[in-house]
Amino acid sequence: MLRVTLLEDFGKRVRMAFGYETAIPMHFGAISDPALMVDFRGPREPLPAKQTVYYLDWANEDERSTLIPPEAVLHYFGNMNAASGDDVRVRNLQVPEFNQERNRVAAVWGDYLYSDAHGPYVTIRIKEPDIPKVRIVPVNANGVSLPGAWEYEPHAFFRFAEILDPNAAAELAALRARKPTVAPLPQQALDISNLSPEQLEALILQIDRFTAIRNTNTAREAHREKMKAGNA
């Protein structure tokens, strides 16, 4: 297993799903409980499965670090042995090429943000992918770090920011100006204790008008239903 530890607040809980847990009950002799066994001669039935999910959360000290199997770490944070295209290991398909692996990891986390001001096919990167900054170390079966073992920090290794456009900051500001993100205001309960007498009278008038309109619509609908029933 590998220990993955958050190095700073990511702003939200990190959820990493990887595969499913499933049990295939089998027997090699006497069947103690036929209901718990799979009849491989009968029709195929879906087996119960539970998704395997790993979490990291800066707000919860118990979740700032978690143990994750190497294959899940490889998927989410990349191969620390990725090398340039002229490396013999890359040519022998033993490790991935560095740029390809960097782009793959970026895509896992939502990819870079691209400018939309230069046509649909221009790949001008103006913002890094939202990838949590973590440190990864190997541990033993008891979860204890191995002395003298390697450490891997994906952000430092892949240097995601180095392939941003030189005008990334200006491009990002222009994009946000064209497409501002407006968060909806939370709904607030009406507090009538602070209303003036004039405001209370206006509110009562509005409620009376709303009630009258609703009652009229209800009466009309009831009349229509009665006419339909009479004509049936």
Whether 26 shows a pLDDT value over 60: the answer reads: no
Task: Name the least confident of 76-80, 99-103, 136-140, 143-147.
Answer: 143-147
Identify the residue with better confidence: 228 or 146. 146
Query: Per residue in 116-151, pLDDT tens?
Result: 888 878 889 999 999 999 999 999 888 888 888 999
Q: What is the mean pLDDT of residues 58-83?
A: 95
- pLDDT top residue among 82 and 214: 82
Cβ contacts of 114 within 8 Å, gap of 6 or more = 122, 123, 124, 125, 126
**pLDDT attached to residue 41:** 63
Cα–Cα distance, 44 to 56 (Å, whole number): 37
pLDDT value at 80 more than 90:
yes
Contact predicate 192/200, CB 8 Å: yes
- C-alpha–C-alpha distance, residues 6 and 61, integer Å: 10
E strand spans, the chain: 2-6, 14-22, 49-56, 65-68, 113-114, 125-127, 134-138
**What CA–CA distances, in Å, run from 171 to 4, 43, 113, 115, 182?**
34, 58, 10, 7, 19
d(CA 175, CA 5): 33
Q: Which two tokens stand for residue 174?
A: 């222009």
* pLDDT above 80 (res 71): yes
Report how far residue 76's alpha carbon sits from residue 155's, in angstroms, rounded to the nearest whole number.
Answer: 12
Kindly calculate the radius of gyration of the chain based on its CA atoms and give it in whole angstroms: 30
pLDDT of residue 122: 81
What percentage of the chain reaches a pLDDT higher than 90? 50
Residue 217 has pLDDT above 90, yes or no: no
Query: Which segments of 73-172 are extended strands (E)?
Result: 113-114, 125-127, 134-138
- pLDDT, position 45: 65
Beta strands in 57-132 (DSSP E): 65-68, 113-114, 125-127
Give the separation between CA 137 and CA 67, rounded to whole angstroms: 10
pLDDT recorded at residue 160: 95
**Checking DSSP bridges between strand 14-22 and strand 2-6, what pairing results, if any?**
unpaired
Q: What is the pLDDT of residues 32-46, one digit of tens each?
A: 565 555 555 666 666
State the pLDDT at residue 46.
64
Provide the pLDDT confidence category of residue 74 given band limits of 50, 70 and 90: very high
Tell me the C-alpha distance between 91 and 95, whole Å: 9
Name the pTM for this structure.
0.68
CB 149 within 8 A of CB 137: yes
Burial class of 201 by CB neighbour count within 10 A (0 to 12, 13 to 18, 19+): exposed
Q: What is the residue-averaged pLDDT of the chain?
A: 85
pLDDT tens profile 178-214: 876 655 556 666 677 777 888 778 888 888 888 888 8
pLDDT of residue 164: 94
